[in-house]
Amino acid sequence: MSKRVLIVASSPRRNGNSNCLAESFARGAEQAGHQVETVYLCEKDIGFCRGCLSCQTTQRCVIKDDASTIAQQMGKADVLMFATPIYYYGMSGQMKTMLDRANPLFPSDYAFRDVYLLTAAAEDDAETPEGAVHGLQGWISCFEKARLAGSVFAGGVTDAGDIEGHPAMQTAFEMGSRI
C-alpha cells in the first residue's frame, strides 16, 4: 500500500550531507512505490514560535510564513522523515524551529505514525546523534499514535559531498525502501 512520505531536510546547505542522506532515503521510498515529497527548510521562510498557543484552538499558526504550510503537510503525511546535520551534539536550529512551529498538529487528527531521523556530523562517535534523537523523541512523545521508527547516522563527514560512498547512504536507501 502506497504511503505519503514527507521528508523535512533541515541542513542550511542545500547540498549538505544530511540532505544527501534524505535524498537516498527518498529514492528508496519512491522505488518501493510510495509518494515522496521533500521540503528543504533552507529554501523556506520560517519564524520562531511566539508561544501564544492560539494554534491549540484554531489548529493554525498566527504567523504567516512557510511553517504553517509545512505543518499542514506534516499532518497529512503517513510517514515523516527528518534529516539534520548535528551541531554541538544536537539537531539544527532549523529543525528545532520547525518542530516548535508544528504545534498546531498537537490537537489535530494527524496521519503520521512512523517518524524517521537521519543525521550527519563531522564527529563519528556512536553517541554523537543522541542529542538530536532525544530532541526528536521528545516531540514524538507528544503524539500518542506516533513512534520513532528508525534512525541513521553518518559520522566523519564535514564538507558538502563528504558523504558520497559512506555506508549510511545505502542504509538510508534501504530504510526508505522498507517503510
Q: What is the pLDDT of residues 74-111, one digit of tens each?
A: 999 999 999 999 999 999 999 999 999 999 999 999 99
Q: What is the pLDDT of residues 117-140, one digit of tens each?
A: 999 999 999 999 999 999 999 999
CATH topology of domain 4-177: Rossmann fold (3.40.50)
Q: What is the pLDDT of residues 35-74, one digit of tens each?
A: 999 999 999 999 999 999 999 999 889 999 999 999 999 9
**Burial code of 59-91, b = ≥16 C-beta within 10 A, e = fewer?**
bebebeebbbebbbbbbebbbbbbbbbbbeebb
Write down the pTM of the prediction: 0.95
Which pairing describes strands 35-40 and 4-9: parallel, antiparallel, or unpaired? Answer: parallel
- Could you tell me the three cell numbers for 177? 525502501
Residue 14 pLDDT exceeds 90: no
